[in-house]
Amino acid sequence: MLAALHPAAANRVYNIGEAYTPTIAERLQTLPSSPFPRIEAEGCDFRNDIAYDTTRMREELAYAEPVSYEEGLRRTLQKGGINPDD
């Protein structure tokens, strides 16, 4: 919505994403112990992660996340019925 309304965004293309994109392994390490059974992803290669450069969006539109990565993760887990503080 910001890019649709911001005058500097006319005729510009922006990559939308995090300022820092953790690897899948890093994301999994931040999760609390799950009440769900562990599922092995056989044949999946997670060594190559995709991260987009979001510098243009941040500099030209002065975009910043409204909450930190950790707070967003905590809220997401709570919505899923998981207490991240346990």
Count structural domains, the chain: 1
79 in a domain, yes or no? Answer: no
In a domain, 76, yes or no: no
Domain range for 7 is 1-32+50-67
Q: Domain for residue 86, yes or no? A: no
| 63 assigned to some structural domain | yes
Confirm whether 41 is domain-assigned: no
**Got the DSSP string for 25-57?**
HHHHHHSPPPSSPP---TT---SS------HHH
Encode pLDDT of 1-44 as tens digits. 899 999 999 999 999 888 888 887 788 777 766 666 666 767 77
pLDDT given for residue 60 in this prediction: 95
- The pLDDT score that the predictor gives to residue 35 is 62
pLDDT, position 38 = 66
39 found inside a domain: no
52 touches 17 (CB < 8 A): yes
The torsion region of residue 53 among left (phi > 0), alpha (psi -120 to 50) and beta comes to: beta
